[in-house]
């Protein structure tokens, strides 16, 4: 069964989501429509990219992912369809590809022109849906419009490193108020080389000197750090709200110092 996923910053209080689903099923009622996340902060493409990047590969090949965040069109801006890793992604040309995919990845990108110009205040309904249904029902990417050789790309925030220090930052705060950073296991192992370390949170205000495997390894209310299912370093409090209690927000600095 063909699958179309939906990610947006619409919330659940307005008619936008219902209208989008209604149009998809009106085109073909056999399509499977899956909600990914509708609580993305308004216009926050970095948050949308995090959700997509850490979930899309678990869906069947051929799935079409609609990313309905910061999509309003203006002169010179395209609505685009992207093919990568056996999946399709429909979005505004707003920098999302650079936040979802590695720089060296080959992407097939086309402007969505088949269903009219991208000048609507609701392009998701008028352009995204027919394009998604076309692709989900085995239509060709190139049927949608001309190739785009240089889509707009934003560059994700990366940690800085030296021989004994990794300086990263919080890139996502989940619904449990766990603070997820841009430091991954590969970087930690490469710089750390098995050495002892301290993780400093918000300068030197809070410190952790071990990596846990699970939250329950610590006492309730205790501060901890672990590598989550996305292999990213996460700062949490067992049964607590780390971001609120520690004053963490997107961009807060997390520093790991390895001992010589």
Q: Of 113, 130, 52, give the one whose Cα is nearest residue 85.
A: 52
The Cα 224–Cα 204 span in angstroms is 15
pLDDT score of 26: 96
**pLDDT tens for residues 218-243?**
999 999 999 999 999 999 999 999 99
**pLDDT tens for residues 109-124?**
999 998 876 667 888 9
CA distances from 26 to 21, 31, 130, 231 (A): 8, 10, 11, 40
Q: How far is CA 63 from the centre of its chain?
A: 16
pTM of the model: 0.90
- Measured from the Cβ of residue 31, the count of other Cβ atoms closer than 10 Å reads 18
Q: What phi and psi, each to the nearest 5 degrees, are found at residue 89?
A: -135, 130
Q: Of 33, 36, 107, 124, give the one whose Cα is nearest residue 72.
A: 124
User: Structural domains in the chain?
Assistant: 3-144 (3.40.50.10790), 160-258 (2.40.30.90)
Spans in the chain with pLDDT lower than 50 = 74-75
The Cα 112–Cα 198 span in angstroms is 49
pLDDT score of 104: 67
């Amino acid at each position: 069964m063909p699958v179309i996923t939906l990610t947006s910053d619409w919330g659940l209080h307005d008619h936008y989501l219902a209208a989008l689903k209604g149009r998809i099923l009106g085109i073909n009622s056999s399509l499977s429509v899956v909600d990914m996340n509708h609580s993305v902060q308004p216009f926050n493409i970095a948050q949308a990219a995090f959700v997509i990047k850490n979930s899309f590969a678990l869906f069947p090949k051929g799935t079409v992912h609609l990313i309905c965040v910061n999509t309003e069109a203006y002169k010179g801006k395209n609505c685009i369809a992207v093919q990568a890793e056996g999946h399709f992604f429909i979005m505004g040309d707003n920098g999302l590809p650079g936040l979802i995919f590695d720089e060296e990845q080959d992407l097939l990108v086309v402007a969505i022109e088949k269903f009219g110009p991208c000048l609507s205040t609701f392009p998701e309904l008028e352009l995204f849906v027919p394009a998604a249904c076309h692709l989900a029902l085995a239509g060709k990417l190139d049927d949608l419009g001309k190739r785009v050789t240089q889509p707009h790309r934003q560059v994700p925030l990366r940690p800085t490193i030296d021989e004994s220090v990794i300086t990263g930052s919080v890139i996502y705060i989940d619904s449990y108020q766990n603070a997820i950073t841009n430091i991954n296991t590969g970087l930690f192992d490469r710089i750390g080389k098995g050495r002892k370390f301290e993780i400093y949170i918000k300068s030197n205000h809070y410190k952790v000197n071990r990596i846990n495997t699970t939250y329950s390894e610590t006492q309730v209310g205790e501060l901890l750090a672990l590598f989550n299912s996305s292999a990213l370093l996460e700062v949490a409090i067992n049964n607590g709200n780390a971001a609120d209690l520690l004053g963490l927000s997107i961009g807060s600095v997390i520093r790991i110092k390895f001992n010589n």
